[in-house]
Amino acid sequence: MNKTIISKYPSNIALVKYWGKYGNQLPKNASLSMTLSKAVTEVKLELMEKTNSEIELAYFFEGEEKEDFKERIVKYASAQPEFDYLLKNYALKINSTNSFPHSTGIASSASAFAAIAAALLSASAELDGDIFNREASRLSRLGSGSACRSFYGPYAVWGELDGLDASSNEFAVPVLEVHENFKNMRDAILIVEDQPKKVSSSVGHGLMKDHPYAEARFVDANKHCQEMLSTLKSGDFDKFISITEREALSLHAMMMTSTDYYMLMKPKTIQVIDEIFEFREQTGLPICFTLDAGPNVHLIYPESIEKEVKTFVETSLKKNTKLIIYDEIGFGGKTK
């Protein structure tokens, strides 16, 4: 029987960063993210019955066949016993599209692997609700770590954390207690550079293996996760801002102090950050920045000050950006 499955999953932005891994895609520290809603990947998976035992998989990105990513998916899917039956009995055609323009430098592996894992799982097994999400989160992690947090919103934690019983290194869990202050957050993604970065995240994770500050970093990140969980519960903006910004800068400090050191921030990244500091000092408004593994800046703020922030972005930050994507907090994706 031929069948089509559609899955649609968002990206997420880590407030406490995953940086360093061990074993089969397991994190060296816990991370905590805010789920987005507009930056999404939609996957259309078509299954055609076949009789030969060869793996047949075609991968299209926005209508164009992509051999390199296809290889990555074949390698990924054939390593998971859960997908054996599917790969043996069906030829697969995957069509993936992103809601955001490509070559913006926005990390798209999170939404891409969340959507791919969810579609393959849905084609392989009949699971519902919580069990589906947990299993899809685990399987997506094996494709790209940060993907596992995209199944839950508004915030998710991935990685074992003292005091958070359900937490696991294998899959993400939702943050259950969120104060009203943090329920309607926004993320203005300021694209300052749209060239592909020179050092991939996988290489960066690898450099944490013999990083002189690694152990201190992992302890610090776990502490930040604990503190962020209390902050999300209490509604304290000042604490939210200090953890989020310190995390962003710690991540980049790790890159800059690896044995093979490198730098992903650009002059415009620093200019934008400086202006954010200045704006916050002058207005007292609760905005802050974070960075992922690249030069682009995520400006995080509550919906209640959207008007003031948009005016600031358009009048002061725009000159240093190539593109601005206004995203907002989200609740995960769906598969049908």
The minimum distance between CB 295 and ligand DP6, in angstroms, equals 12
Number of H-type helices and E-type strands within the chain? 9, 14
Query: Could you list the residues that contact ligand DP6 (CB under 6 A)?
Result: 14, 17-19, 25, 31, 107, 109, 144-146, 201-202, 205, 251, 292-293
Which tokens belong to 119? Answer: 């579609």
Q: Which residue has the tokens 């899959």?
A: 171
Q: Which residues contact 52 (CB under 8 A, 6 or more apart)?
A: none
State which residue, 207 or 309, has the beta carbon closest to ligand DP6: 207
The minimum distance between CB 51 and ligand DP6, in angstroms, equals 35
State which residue, 193 or 292, has the beta carbon closest to ligand DP6: 292
- Are 6 and 42 in contact by the 8 Å Cβ rule? The answer is yes
Q: Say which amino acid occupies 90.
A: Y
The minimum distance between CB 250 and ligand DP6, in angstroms, equals 11
The minimum distance between CB 17 and ligand DP6, in angstroms, equals 4
Bridge-partner residues for 5, per DSSP? 45
Report d(CA 59, CA 67) in Å as an integer: 7
Sign, CA torsion 22/153/314/236: negative
State which residue, 134 or 205, has the beta carbon closest to ligand DP6: 205
The minimum distance between CB 281 and ligand DP6, in angstroms, equals 27
Count of CB atoms situated within 10 Å of the CB of 327? 23
State which residue, 202 or 230, has the beta carbon closest to ligand DP6: 202
State which residue, 113 or 279, has the beta carbon closest to ligand DP6: 113
